[in-house]
Structure 1
Amino acid sequence: MSRHEIVSPEGLRVDGRRPGELRRINCRTGIFTQADGSAYIEIGNTKCLAAVYGPREPQKKGQAVHDRAFISVEFNVASFSSGEHKEKLRQDRRLLELGTTIRQTFEPVIMAQAYARSEIAIFIQILQTDGGILHTAINATTLALIDAGIAMTDYVAACSSGFANDHAILDLNYIEEMAEVPALTMAILPKTGKVTMLGLEARLHLDHFEATMNLANDGCAAVLDILDEAIRKITKTRAQTIS
Structure 2
Amino acid sequence: MSDKPEKFIDENGLRLDGRRVDEIRPMKMEIGVLSRADGSCYLEWGKNKVLAAVYGPRELHPRRLQKADSVLIRYRYNMAAFSVEDRIRPGPSRRSIEISKVSREAFEPVVLTHLYPGAVIDVFAEVLQADAGTRTAAINAACVALADAGIPMKGLVSACAVGKVDGQLVLDLNKPEDNYGDADIPMAMTSDGEITLVQMDGDVTPEEFKKAIEMCKEGCRQIMEIQKETLRSKFTKLEDVDISDDEEVDVSSIVESALESSENDVEDEEEAEVESGDADQEDEVEDADEDLDDEPESEDDEDEDLDSVESHSDFEAVELVEDFEESFTDVDEEDATEDEDDEEKD
TM-score (norm 1): 0.92
Q: What is the 5 A alignment of 1:221-236?
A: 221-236=221-236
Given that residues 80 and 90 in structure 2 are in contact (C-alpha distance below 8 angstroms), is that contact kept between their aligned partners in structure 1? no
Asked if the contact 1:163/1:212 (under 8 Å) is kept, the reply is: no
Give the Cα separation in 2 of the matches to 1:4 and 1:114.
54
Q: Read off the aligned partner of 2:46 and give its amino acid letter.
A: G
The two structures have a TM-score, normalised by structure 2, of: 0.65
Report Cα offsets for 1:182-235 as digits up to 9, x if no partner.
111111111x22111111122222231122221111100010111111111111
Give the aligned residue type for 1:23: R
Q: Distance in 1 between matches of 2:151 and 2:95?
A: 27
For residue 218 of structure 1, what is the aligned residue in structure 2?
Answer: 218
Instruction: State whether residues 163 and 208 of structure 1, in contact with CA within 8 Å, keep that contact through their aligned partners in structure 2.
Output: no
The equivalences for 1:20-39 within 5 A come to: 20-39=22-41
Give the secondary-structure state (helix, strand or coil) at the position aligned to 1:106: helix
Deviation at 1:238, TM superposition (A): 10
**Per-residue deviation, residues 93-135 of structure 1 (Å, max 9, x unmatched):** 1000111011111221111100000000001100000111011
SS in 1 for 2:199: strand
Q: What is the alpha-carbon distance in structure 1 between the residues aligned to residue 218 and residue 151 of structure 2?
A: 26
Deviation at 1:31, TM superposition (A): 0.9
2:47 aligned to which of 27, 45, 48:
45
Q: More deviation in 56-65 or 107-116?
A: 56-65
Query: CA offsets per residue over residues 49-101 of structure 1, 9 Å max, x none?
Result: 10000000113222211111011011110111111345679x71100011101
Paired with 2:238 and 2:41, the residues of 1 have a C-alpha distance of 15
Amino acid in structure 2 at the alignment position of 1:15: D
Post-superposition Cα deviations, 1:117-155, rounded to whole Å, max 9, x if no partner, equal: 000000110000011101100100111000000011111
Higher RCO structure, 1 or 2 (CA under 8 Å, sep 6+): 1
Please give the alpha-carbon distance, in whole angstroms, between the structure 1 residues aligned to 2:239 and 2:56.
23
Corresponding residue pairs, total: 238
Conservation of the 8 A alpha-carbon contact between 2:182 and 2:203: no
The answer to which structure has the higher strand fraction is 1
2:64 partner amino acid: G
With over 3 angstroms needed to count, the CA separation of the structure-2 counterparts of 1:88 and 1:27, relative to structure 1, is: closer
Contact 1:4–1:164 (Cα < 8 Å) also in 2: no
Select the structure that is richer in helix: 2
Question: Which residue matches 2:149?
Answer: 148
For the pair shown, which has the larger CA radius of gyration, 1 or 2? 2
1:104 is matched with 105
Q: Separation in 2 of the partners of 1:239 and 1:111?
A: 32
Q: Does the Cα contact within 8 Å between 2:81 and 2:89 map onto a contact in 1? A: no
Q: Could you tell me which runs of 5 or more consecutive residues in structure 2 were left unpaired when the two chains were aligned.
A: 241-346
Matched residues in 2 for 1:52 and 1:168: separation? 35
- Secondary structure, aligned partner of 2:141: helix
Kept after mapping to 1: 8 A contact 2:163/2:184: yes
Partner residue, 2:86: 84
